[in-house]
Amino acid sequence: MMKRLAFAGVMAAAGLMVSSAMALIDGSKHDLSDPTNTIRAANPADVNNEICVFCHTPHGSNTDFVGAPLWNKAIDTTVTYQVYGGGQTTGGTTVDQPGDVSRACLSCHDGVNAINSVINLPGSGGWSSTGNFVDFTVDGGATTITGAAATMPPGITQIGTDLRNDHPVGVIYRGDEANPPASLKPTSTALPTGFVIAGDRDGNPGPTIGDLLRAGKIECVSCHDPHLGENPTFLRLPNDNSNLCLTCHAK
């Protein structure tokens, strides 16, 4: 039964609200207990068939990591990434290391951090500050990784630590300048109909572009919602006709 609880329950506990649509992780690629997924728990019963446990826990979370609520992973925040443009965009914007909210995504997708490590296993007696390795498979069950770290296999979902070929994250959004680089729109610009966004972060009537930013910066979650399994690649807005790109870029 726990597997089928809507993720909204955890988000509500964290004081967040989803608007426009109910985010669905059940049955998506991020449902690591789904036996039909290629990348998943080898034995879903090991985690009581729970969905949320691979990222979140209601008790005993990693309080040293603030990138996501009630985080259930002993994430290595010392990993250094090669950033877009060698540290500067063509428009002269400095690109920093990814923020913690992006590191939450990269804690599975960088090919370094373990996908199958959770601090607090379901039930009692399964807490470890350094993490517990859940038996895992990255090839649909052909092989099982037991007692060791499972990392994202090669492919497009393994972003890696070299982010030079990806949209910059950890970069200040400069849309409010007189001559914004990359034809960026002002942060007060309303988001298109159908854009899924949680909360009001900038205080402007909206939702607006400013609500997509974290500390004024573009991060992974500006374009993706990890719980939005109904959209391709968890995008906040389907990119038909480049609609997602044109949300921020006035091209």
19-33, 59-73, 141-155, 204-218: which has the minimum mean pLDDT?
19-33
Instruction: Tell me the pTM.
Output: 0.87
| Contact between residue 101 and residue 220 where contact means Cβ atoms under 8 Å apart | yes
How much is the pLDDT for 10?
Answer: 42
**What six digits make up the tokens of 54?**
């691979």
Per domain, the residue ranges of the chain are 23-78+111-159
Distance from C-alpha of 224 to C-alpha of 241, rounded to nearest angstrom: 17
**Distance between alpha carbon 228 and the CA centroid of its chain, in Å?**
10
pLDDT, tens digit, 9 for 90 and up, residues 70-87: 999 998 888 999 999 999
How much is the pLDDT for 23?
Answer: 60
| Contact between residue 220 and residue 169 where contact means Cβ atoms under 8 Å apart | yes
pLDDT, tens digit, 9 for 90 and up, residues 101-111: 999 999 999 99
Residue corresponding to tokens 């370094």: 112
pLDDT above 70 for 222: yes
How much is the pLDDT for 124?
Answer: 86
Residue type at position 10:
V
pLDDT, tens digit, 9 for 90 and up, residues 42-75: 999 999 999 999 999 999 999 999 999 999 999 8
Compute how many other C-beta atoms are within 10 angstroms of the C-beta atom of residue 38: 13
- Residue 9: pLDDT band (50, 70, 90) is very low
Residue type at position 223:
C
Exposure b/e, 46-73, CB count within 10 A at least 16 = b = bbebbbbbbbbbeeebbeebebbebbbb
pLDDT above 50 for 239: yes
pLDDT above 80 for 14: no
pLDDT above 50 for 15: no
Q: Of the candidates 120, 105, 157, 121, which has an alpha carbon nearest to the alpha carbon of residue 49?
A: 121
Q: Of the candidates 246, 247, 174, which has an alpha carbon nearest to the alpha carbon of residue 209?
A: 247
Distance from C-alpha of 240 to C-alpha of 177, rounded to nearest angstrom: 28
